[in-house]
Structure 1
Amino acid sequence: MSNTLSLASRLRAMSDAELARAMNDRGVGTSGIKDFFDLAEAFLDRASIQQALTRLDRQTLAVLAAAGQLADQTGDAPDLARVEALLSSIAGSAPTAQVIAERADQARAMLLLEEDPLTVAPYDGVRQQLRSWPAFGLPGLADLALATPPAALEPVPDVDRRFIDRLGAERAFAATTAITELLVEIERDPARELAKGGVALPDSKRLANAMSVDLESVANLLAVADRAELVARETGSWMITEAGASWLLESSGARWAVLAGAWFGHLPGDIRTLLGERTHAVWGQGLRGYVDWLYPAGGDWMDERITVYTRDAELLGITANQAPTGPGSLLLGDALDDAAAAMAALLPAEVEQVYLQHDLSVVAPGPLTPRVDARLRSIADAESRALASSYRVSTSSVNRAMASGETAESILEFLRSISLTGIPQPLDYLVGEAAARYGLVRVGVVDAPGTEARSYLRSDDEHLLGTIMVDQNLSALGLARLDAGRLESRFSRDVVFWSLSDARYPIAAEDATGEIIALRRQRTARSAAAGAVNPIETLIERLRLGGEPEEGEASQAWLIRQLDVAIKARSALTVSVSMPNGSVIDYQLEPTSVAGGRLRGRDKKSAIERTLPLASIAGLGPAL
């Protein structure tokens, strides 16, 4: 039976979860897949096999190469003992039968071996690909079996550990602070994603300014936030998720734990094991040299993975100067809670008190607790974020606070509760003046049939309405004057409200009775996992709908496709035929054609051609 035929049957028998995992592990796409035979051919494609082999370590490759050589020599699938003997004859020593079995199971899970657990039987394409490696400068069986690993990585000197932990904590604090500003900024105004990938340049500059980082760091920090599902792309823009909004209310240590946990959770199993065994060693070039040895065909793919994960480890303080920090070592040992506690102890202590200045600035002598920071941001604009952060209260920031339900009394009460210097007179005056002007312009819903207008603006200040009318930044709202004190727009109340609020007008929303109501800007996106349609799951569902064979017999379409594959491959089959008396007879046939509801094939034992009705065929199997 051909590899395509046997693998198609194997794929069909797998559970949906197993099939999806295999497709993800092998990177098999969904394009052009109409049935399980197409899927089997995609798995057996030489490019797909080569891609899978690049992801295997040296010992697994040696087991596959040894099994392939034995199969080429004898024509049958070798067992574990024969593979062990061959490797031992080449290298003088070999992995134990248990290790070989584990490596074979790994390759079997990636659909590189036949499913029989008692043998090590690579598919023909795998054998051919490994056999061709030396011609392309890749190691053959002897090189895979004989090569010795490079020297162990250099341990981190004890004298450097305190410095490494301090540097790691500084980087962790900087990263969590920058991502905090990223989320706050895209919650206010989402960042547009280009069709070719990457954030649009104007938005990148805006985010870099808000985060106080260089332009190149925006993409790296956005990727870290995306990995932790704090942001997601929706309708072509990056937006904060509900998880991101909750993250902003966590302590600095808890924020780091989410980012570091996502880094560790997405770490590929092979790299996780590799780094977990080197929690107290300097990575650097020694790590890259070891990775090059361990994954001899990894090439750019493995190098890129190591680069991304080691870069983000430095960014998050998991490592510092290419050596794991104390929290990083705990994390790599799969102890996230202990790592979070260790990092929290290294991060600057959070404070709840600030200095209110006469110039309307607010200075925090340390990182603020999430509760205070979130409330203060609703009243003032953040100007700088570091160990000592600063904010500034303005008329527009007070208007924004009042739009979310604050009053002059609640604002002053909150500021008084956190101030170490009382309420300066200029600040008290600003809040009172802004409160007096708040609601000078009102926006509401137009509830009149037969009109395109969806919202209105009204004010007793005709001059202010005139200013709004000629403001070029608001021209997209299409405002039209109805009378001296009223304008209308075809856009919704919320769109008009937030447009004027961002333009710093004293705008307030009102209901049908004229009462001022609080509006909250809803700009959260579903996480990518929650919102996306999984194409692999869709494909599997479609393949299942193609029909399953009933118990004891093969479906007609499945039967014909198996026979077509066997005919093309000139493979012999065991064809089980149901007889009129209820018995089943097995014929050893090499199928030659299928037409008119009948199968023609050469009988290997009788040396005659037989014609069998498809309706009588109860099943197919490999030739005996």
Structure 2
Amino acid sequence: MATTFADQLRSLPDEALGALIALRPDLVIPVPADISALAVRAQSRNSVARCLDGLDEFTLAVLDAARLTRAADTALTSVDAILELTPGIPGGDVVAAIDRLRVRFLLHGPPDGLHVVGAVDEVTSPYPAGLGRPADFLDPQTAALCADRARLRRTVLSAPPGARAVLDRLAAGPPVGALARDSVAEPVRWLVEQHVLVPVSEVGRSPRPDGELVELPREIGMLLRRETGPLGVLRPQPPVPDGSSRGPRAADSAGAGQTMEAVRATESLLEALATEPAPVLRTGGLGVRDLKRLAKAAGIDEAGAALLIETAYAAGLLGESEIGPSQDVFMPTGAYDLWRATGIAHRWAALARAWLAMTRQPGLVGRRDERDRPINALAPDAERAGSPQARREVLGALADLEPGAAPGLDDLLALLAWQAPRRARGREAVHTDAYAGAAQLGVTGLGALTSYSRVLLTDAGPDDSDPLGLHPEDAHADAVRALDQLLPAPVDHILVQADLTVIVPGPPEPELAGELDVLADPESAGGASVFRVTPASVRRALDVGYQAADLHELFRRRSRTPVPQTLTYLIDDAARRHGGLRTGSAGSYLRSDDEALLAEVVADKRVTGLDLRRIAPTVLVSPRPVARLLGALREAGYAPVAEDAGGATVLTRPKARRSPTRSPRTVEPAGPVLTGPRLAGVVEQLRRGDIATRAARRAPVTVRAAHGQAIPGLTAVQQHTQAMAVLQQAVRDKARVWVGYVDSHGATLSRLVRPVSLSAGYLRAEDERGESLHTFALHRITAAVTEE
């Protein structure tokens, strides 16, 4: 059958062959040599199982109908036979499902002679649609009972209540049950005695401890399904979720607000790790205490913190850095600084892309593994290769609904179970985690997929204008622009209050955000952020190089409200005290023109650990390092500054600690998507390979004789000198020739090539089949014949 199947593929037009490859891309990974190899791969167990995983519930039911209606002698079925097995279902829906199976070549052949690919029976249940095997296959007496329809009905109607319950259970599928050896199995024994159930055995297995197996024949199962139909309840259309519609605008507004919160919380988590890096556990991952500390710093729960930390790690914003022998810590990478300098929409897009593609399942954090050990954030135990595909399935199901539709979680899981029942089985927990993660990241708003997320999912597909992927960021520019229109415009001003609080009425511009990080301490975040100016924050600004005049000008320029006099006094007072003390190395020294101030420092008990000693009326020295001297004096309430060897003030920002930048680890969620020129190129390569393969089978008789094959009527093998003459003439005429040769393994092969040069003991020729240049050693060439 493989030859017939290959011939059918070979007869397809390029559009139909391309459609098959687009629907089953695993068939061309790697690209097969010819269409015969493609046919073999299309009938393999793995490829067929992967194709079935993507089919919906109704299409799989129609495939079961095709399996049930196959003729015993020819193993063929027809469209009419399948329609007879689906009463009450519109014929157009059934034919559409058959077409879906045929375009994927799970069914092939004419409408009146459809053939089911053999591997379907190997990778699916042996009981199509939950029906057992035919009665004549199981037991002659049961077959006689089924042949007499009136007697069969009387027997079923006379069954005791317990026996009828057993029949109804087996009729729903699967049709096999255990015959127990106790009194509870009395109804089953009655059915066996009446030949309604047939005892069977499992081939290759030892006897079951709870008794034999019994099977309900197919004919009786179909009789019991007279109300629902032979295949059971069929749903040609997906179930409609009962969730209410939130409206596209409401969903977008709620989602945009959540994106701002997700970006803010991620930044807070990474800043907390920059201030105090978290150690990497010996078994890998982030400790429970550190996760609680970070969640508290960001103002979110631990589950949300785990999701954002995992996403930041996948986006390359967080990494591991070695700070000592066998001591690694988690801290932000250099990419974090670049990420922080961009707008909110760009930052969210980076997080959303990483979340869609990361092979982590954050919902597992806090749970226990099979050895009853807790699963930590960033630990290897939370790795799940199927997570990207699960997220795509959830978002794809939401995208198929009307804009603004917000189904409940149960309705969404039911919809996923209809769309791909084989793939959704047992993945409810992964889909639930994807649903919750989408809500926290702002991918959904009020339970509905947002408009900018729809654009993000669309942009995530292949871009034929950029086949090499040279501009990956351009693929998500539309989603960034769509989100930007929903977010409040960045503000470049502040509102300074009399109590020294600073209100930012919106997301600050990157320049303003950098200034506020130095000038004030954050108090609350949200649509309007609140900061507070303190003596410590003013001193911090002076330490990094601001002068008092600079601070007055900055607040005057940025503030839309009058600058309170208390802030002016605070800046002037801090500037007046700032630099009154100067430190250096002695270990370190401390000098001041104010001798009374130095006397106060020497007498201060809070700095006795510095071991200060006066060496001049205006100079103190300490054996401690400069950094420790500065820190201790500042903790005691003084405002010293450092100076270099020439007495110039040293003003520096604290150096940010960063881990090495790394590339995020992602996987292709659903395999490559072939469209446009890529798909056409694969089809063309298959066609050319098929032509070359068939041509190779028609090598001239002289070449085959040179390989030692028995050819009737041929008495001698072409001489080596004659082969060289043919090759020399082919070089001059640029003609194609058949070359017979012996490869390095001693195998005799033939190839159709176009000779380019013949020199130095080698033949160089072009192989148009593979579009490559081959080199043959002349002493290995056995024959050469011009192409006819």
TM-score by length of structure 1 reads 0.57
Is 1:410 equivalent to 2:550 in the alignment?
A: yes
1:618–1:168 Cα change, 3 Å: same
Structure 2 unaligned runs (5+)? 1-24, 30-43, 107-114, 133-171, 176-217, 219-229, 323-327, 359-387, 461-475, 592-597, 667-703, 711-743, 750-788
Q: Which amino acid aligns with 1:283?
A: P
Is the Cα contact below 8 Å between 1:192 and 1:199 reproduced in 2? yes
> Aligned with 2:492: secondary structure?
coil
1:151 aligned onto 2:239? yes
The answer to whether the Cα contact below 8 Å between 2:397 and 2:412 also exists between their aligned partners in 1 is no
| Residue identity in the other structure for 1:282 | A
Contact 1:84–1:96 (CA under 8 A) maintained in structure 2: no
1:207 pairs, out of 270, 287, 294, with 294
Counterpart position of 1:459: 590
- Within 2, Cα distance between the matches of 1:192 and 1:132? 54
User: What are the Cα deviations for residues 462-482 of structure 1, in whole angstroms up to 9, with x where unaligned?
Assistant: 6499846749xxxxxxx9999
The 1-side partners of 2:417 and 2:602 are apart by 72
Cα 1:385–1:422 change in 2 (3 A) is: same
Match of 2:432 among 307, 321, 340: 307
Structure-2 change in CA distance of 1:530 and 1:199 (3 Å): closer
Give me the whole-angstrom Cα distance separating, in 1, the residues matched to 2:637 and 2:526: 27
Residues 72-104 of structure 1: CA deviation (Å, up to 9, x unaligned): x999xx9xx989999778768466787447657
1:369 and 2:509 are equivalent in the alignment:
yes
- The alignment covers a number of residue pairs equal to 471
- Partner AA of 2:270 in structure 1: L
Deviations 1:133-171 (CA, angstroms, capped at 9, x unpaired): 989x9989997996645423358647x444434333333
For residues 48-87 of structure 1, what are the alpha-carbon distances to aligned partners after superposition, in whole Å with 9 as ceiling and x for unaligned?
999998787658978999999999x999xx9xx9899997
Q: Which amino acid in structure 1 is aligned with residue 274 of structure 2?
A: E
Deviation string 1:557-616 (CA, Å, 9 cap, x unpaired) is: xxxxxxxxxxxxxxxxxxxxxx9x86489xxxxxxxxxxxxxxxxxxxxxxxxxxxx976
Q: Which residue in the other structure is 1:591 paired with?
A: none
Separation in 2, partners of 1:351, 1:210: 25
- Secondary structure at the counterpart of residue 623 of structure 2: strand
Matching residue of 2:400: 277
Q: Which amino acid aligns with 2:590?
A: S
- Change beyond 3 A, Cα 1:188–1:123: farther
Partner of 1:116: none
Residues of 2 paired with 1:146 and 1:232: CA distance?
A: 51
2:261 maps to a residue whose letter is A
Deviations, residues 392-436 of structure 1 (Å, cap 9, x unaligned): 223332343344333333333222211234443433343344443
Please state how far the C-alpha of 1:318 moved relative to its aligned partner: 3.1
The superposition leaves residues 364-410 of structure 1 with CA deviations (integer Å, 9 ceiling, x where unpaired) of: 33433232122111121111112332212233323433443333333
Counterparts in 2 of 1:163 and 1:615: CA distance versus 1, 3 Å: closer
Deviations 1:311-358 (A, max 9, x none): 122223332332234444444554955544444343334332223344
| Residues 344-359 of structure 1 mapped to structure 2, 5 A cutoff | 344-359=484-499
In the alignment, structure 1 residue 437 sits paired with structure 2 residue 578: yes
Are the counterparts in 1 of residues 607 and 632 from structure 2 also a CA contact under 8 Å?
Answer: no
The corresponding residue for 1:250 is 342
3-state DSSP of counterpart to 1:459: strand
Aligned to 1:10: none
* Structure 1 Cα separation of the partners of residues 629 and 276 of structure 2: 15
**Which of 400, 403, 416 is the equivalent residue of 1:291?**
416
**In 1, Cα distance between the equivalents of 2:288 and 2:271?**
19
RMSD between aligned residues: 5.8
Once the two structures are TM-superposed, the CA of residue 505 in structure 1 deviates from its matched residue by: 7.5
**Percent of aligned positions that are identical:** 27
Alignment of 1:514-593 (within 5 A): 515=648, 516-529=650-663, 583=708
Shift of 1:504: 8.4
Query: Cα 1:139–1:226, aligned 2, differ >3 Å: closer, same or farther?
Result: farther
Over alpha carbons, which structure has the higher Rg?
Answer: 2
Contact 2:245 2:406 in 1 (8 A): no
Report if aligned partners of 2:319, 2:330 keep a CA contact under 8 Å in 1: yes
Alignment correspondent of 1:225: 312
Q: 1:271 to 1:358 in 2, by over 3 A?
A: closer
Cα distance in 2 between the residues matched to 1:247 and 1:503: 37
Q: Alpha carbons of 1:65 and 1:238: their partners in 2 closer, same or farther (altered >3 Å)?
A: farther
Change in CA separation of 1:246 and 1:279 when aligned onto 2, cut-off 3 Å: farther
Residue 570 of structure 1 corresponds to none
Give the aligned partner of residue 170 of structure 1.
257
Deviation at 1:289, TM superposition (A): 0.2
Q: Match of 2:421, SS? A: coil
Aligned to 2:623, which of 476, 483, 487? 487
The counterpart of 2:122, out of the listed 102, 127, 142, is 127
- Aligned equivalents of 1:529 and 1:205: distance in 2? 27
What one-letter code is carried by the residue in structure 2 that aligns with 1:361? T
**Structure 2 vs 1, CA of residues 311 and 53 (structure 1 numbering), >3 Å: closer, same or farther?**
same
Q: Structure 1: give runs of 5+ residues left out of the alignment.
A: 1-20, 26-43, 106-118, 447-455, 472-478, 533-578, 586-613, 620-624
How far apart in 2 are the matches of 1:584 and 1:138? Answer: 58
Instruction: Supply the distance in 2 between the matched residues of 1:367 and 1:316 (Cα, whole angstroms).
Output: 17
Q: Is the 8 A contact 2:399 2:449 kept in 1?
A: no
Aligned with 1:208: secondary structure? helix
> Does the 8 Å contact 1:279/1:332 carry over to 2?
no
